[in-house]
A and B are shown apart, each in its own frame.
Chain A
Amino acid sequence: MSLTYLVLEDEPLIAMDLEFAIEDIGHEAVVAVNNAEARQAVADNTIAGAILDVSLGDGETCEPTAKLLSEHSIPFVLHTGDLDRVGEHLRALNAPVLPKPQAADDVIEKLVGMAEKA
Chain B
Amino acid sequence: MSDDTSRSGLKSSNQAHRAIYPSDAQRDAFDGSSGLLFEQAMGQTRMAVCLTDPRLEDDPIVFCNEAFQQLTGYREVEILGRNCRFLQGPDTDQAQVAKIREAIRDESVVVVELLNYRKDGSSFWNTLHLGPIYDEDGNLRYFFGSQWDVTDIHQSRAEERHAKAMAREVSHRLKNVFAVVGGIVNITGRSMDSRDVAKKINERIQALGRSYEPTLDEASLGTIHVGQAIRSVLAPYDPEGDRFIFEGNGVRTEPNAISAIGLTLHELATNATKYGALSNREGTITVHWQHIKDKMDNSALEVTWIEQGGPRIEQEPDMDGTGFNISKTLLNHARGVLEAEWPPEGLQARILVPLTRRSL
Number of interface residues of A (CB under 8 A): 20
CA of A72 to CA of B187 in the docked complex: distance in angstroms?
A: 32
Please give, as numbers and ranges, the residues of chain B lying within 8 Å of A16 by CB-CB distance. Answer: 183, 187
Q: Which one of B172, B183, B184, B206 lies within 8 Å of A81 (CB-CB)?
A: B172
Task: Give the interface residue-count category, chain B.
Answer: 20 to 34
Contact with A along B172-184 (1 / 0, CB 8 A): 1101101111111
CA of A105 to CA of B189 in the docked complex: distance in angstroms?
A: 14
Contact with B along A42-86 (1 / 0, CB 8 A): 000000000000010000000000000000000000000110110
Q: Which one of A11, A17, A55, A103 lies within 8 Å of B206 (CB-CB)?
A: A103
Contact with A along B157-187 (1 / 0, CB 8 A): 0000000000010011101101111111011
CA of A84 to CA of B187 in the docked complex: distance in angstroms?
A: 29
Q: Is B202 an interface residue (CB 8 A)?
A: yes
Contact indicator A17/B186 (Cβ below 8 Å): yes
Please give, as numbers and ranges, the residues of chain A lying within 8 Å of B338 by CB-CB distance. Answer: none
Contact of A82 with B187 at beta-carbon distance under 8 Å, contacts A13-B180, A101-B205, A101-B206 already known:
no
Contact indicator B179/A100 (Cβ below 8 Å): yes
Residue of chain A at shortest CB distance from B202: A103
Please give, as numbers and ranges, the residues of chain A lying within 8 Å of B213 by CB-CB distance. Answer: 99
Q: Is B154 an interface residue (CB 8 A)?
A: no
Q: Which one of B168, B173, B181, B206 lies within 8 Å of A102 (CB-CB)?
A: B206
Chain A contact residues, CB within 8 Å of chain B = 11, 13-14, 16-17, 20-21, 55, 81-82, 84-85, 99-106
Chain B contact residues, CB within 8 Å of chain A = 168, 171-173, 175-176, 178-184, 186-187, 190, 199, 202-203, 205-206, 209-210, 213, 217, 236
